[in-house]
Structure 1
Amino acid sequence: MNAKAEVESSGMDTVKLLLAVILLAGGIVLFYFLEEYSSLLRVLGLLVITGIAVAVALQSVAGRRVWDFAKASRGEVRKVVWPSRQETIQTTLIVFGMVLLVGIVLWVFDMILMAIVQSVTG
């Protein structure tokens, strides 16, 4: 698969990605350069330029790989079995209880060590 990807990529992919970065940087510069215009218009313009930059980036092999990865990740998230509200509350209570228990044990251990140190040092 790596050999195939290396064969598919070309100098044009680099140009496309560079163009996308230049578009995005130019959009950000224009956003701050055109302060006298409405914030709404500047944000809409930045969103349009960002959309164009993403469209250009998706035309490259690297862009398609990122898009495929995002689609596969979304599919994996859909396969996750999320805990119910009751399971979440129970797990949270167990974690709080264990934190409290460990805190008390460490506090007692600290008090014992402090008493030992005080008895040794006078």
Structure 2
Amino acid sequence: MNAKTEVSGNKFDGAKLLVAVLVLAVGIVGFYYFSDAITVVRVGGLLVVAAVALVIASQTEKGRGAIGFFKDARTEVRKVVWPTRQETIQTTLMVIAMVVVVAIILWFLDMFLFWAVRMLTGQGG
């Protein structure tokens, strides 16, 4: 059997991902290094650096795959049929009722086991 491995993407994808990680790391270090600056400026700078790192990473095969995944996920979320307000309220009330029923059953089970242990140990009357 002869198995060929297909290499997709560019041979520089690894280097691009490394550059993206380094850019992001420099941004994080800069965020803490300039701790005396106004917080809004620091956060803005960090967001710009993160955007640059994402743009660099999106130029790789893995980056394009991740972007495609998120687009597909967004499409699937749009297909979801969300429950109406009345369905949500009814389901919530059913869950609350079942929690109360199970709590009462466990309370009676606990009382029975407490009574049984007291009888077995001779502490009950």
With the length of structure 1 as denominator, give the TM-score of the two structures: 0.90
Matches within 5 A, 1:1-122: 6-122=6-122
SS for the counterpart of 2:49 is helix
Larger RCO (CA under 8 A, 6+ residues apart): 1
Q: Percent identity?
A: 50
Uncovered stretches (5+) of structure 1, i.e. residues with no partner: none
The root-mean-square deviation of aligned C-alpha atoms, in Å, is: 1.6
Higher-helix-fraction structure: 1
1:97 CA drift (Å): 0.5
Q: Cα offset for 1:118?
A: 1.3
Task: Give unmatched runs, 5+ long, in structure 2.
Answer: none
Distance, in Å, in 2 between the alignment partners of 1:36 and 1:117 is 65
Question: Residues of 2 paired with 1:55 and 1:117: CA distance?
Answer: 67
Q: Give the Cα separation in 2 of the matches to 1:67 and 1:39.
A: 30
Provide the C-alpha distance between the structure 2 equivalents of 1:38 and 1:70, rounded to a whole number of angstroms: 33
Q: Distance in 1 between matches of 2:72 and 2:104?
A: 45
TM-score by length of 2: 0.88
In the TM superposition, residue 53 of structure 1 has moved relative to its aligned partner by: 0.4
The secondary structure found in structure 1 opposite 2:72 is: helix
Instruction: Say if 1:11 and 1:113 are closer, same or farther in 2 by CA, change over 3 A.
Output: same
SS in 1 for 2:12: helix
